[in-house]
Amino acid sequence: MALLSIFSSNSINILAGINGIEVAQSLVIAGLIVINDVLYLSPFTPYPHPATDSHLFSLYLLLPFIGVSLALLKHNWYPAKVFVGDTYCYFAGMVFAVDGILGHFSKTLILLLLPQGFNFIYSAPQLFHIVPCPRHRLPRFNARTGLLECSRVEFKKPLARPIAASLLLLHRLRLLDVETDENGQVVSTSNFTLINLWLVWFGPMREDRLALGLLGFQAAMGIMGLLVRHRMALLVFTADN
């Protein structure tokens, strides 16, 4: 429970930095949890069901959260008039942690946070300072084109050979954009965030298109997580709650 609370509250905060992405990803996750809750209610599940009260609690908590988040998104979507900052990110993440723990579906919640989990693992080399980590890793705005481009971290000192080799391997796998000098030394890479990786994959784009692409990815991964939970759970557990 402690690990889930720490991860969930920080997961929204590190997948952030462009207009609307913090609130919109929270709305997608909340919507997927609501779908999961409804599947435990009549007519999808015979009443009474052992998990009915837990999922009713989840609905009581999430529906007001969705309402206030929709109102906030109206002002936070591109071009944003308000900035949510850490306040909303930690609030939203903790709402999900409380919901998953008290609603007794923490493993399902983890399935719905797979993009955030990938973003954390992908960011780990910078978060744990294996490679330098700038204070901010937001995409770079190109004023000439009006598009966002992946931001970069420059290496002023030569990297250790194993680290440089790992970065070049990630570059070949299209999981990073690496720049080398004439001697083959790594001099810069794109920053290690899912937002920058999306720009590596699909090239420069407008901020709202970038946000929509990431939200589509969030929704697709969440739907896959629900399918795993409701179609494959009995392959792991002897009984479904």
How far from 24 is each of 77, 219, 234, CA to CA, in Å? 8, 11, 32
Task: Please give the pLDDT value at position 240.
Answer: 65
Average of pLDDT values for 108-116? 96
Per-residue pLDDT of 14-27, as tens digits, reads: 999 999 999 999 99
Residue 36 reports pLDDT greater than 70: yes
Residues paired with 205 in a beta bridge: 148
Nearest Cα to Cα of residue 71 among 88, 59, 55, 94:
88
Per-residue pLDDT of 185-232, as tens digits, reads: 999 999 999 999 999 999 999 999 999 999 999 999 999 999 999 888
Distance CA 126, CA 177 (A): 15
Task: Please give the pLDDT value at position 236.
Answer: 74
Per-residue pLDDT of 77-99, as tens digits, reads: 999 999 998 999 999 999 999 99
Per-residue pLDDT of 143-198, as tens digits, reads: 999 999 999 999 988 899 999 999 999 999 999 999 999 988 999 999 999 999 99
Task: Please give the pLDDT value at position 239.
Answer: 66
Among the residue ranges 58-62, 120-124, 189-193, 235-239, the one predicted with the least confidence is 235-239
Sequence spans of domains, the chain: 2-126+207-235, 130-202
Nearest Cα to Cα of residue 95 among 74, 71, 50, 64:
64
Residues paired with 179 in a beta bridge: 188
Average pLDDT, the chain: 93
Burial of residue 113 (CB within 10 Å: 0-12, 13-18, 19+) is: buried
Torsion of CA 105, 110, 111, 112, to 10 degrees: 90
Handedness of CA 188, 189, 193, 197 (dihedral sign): positive
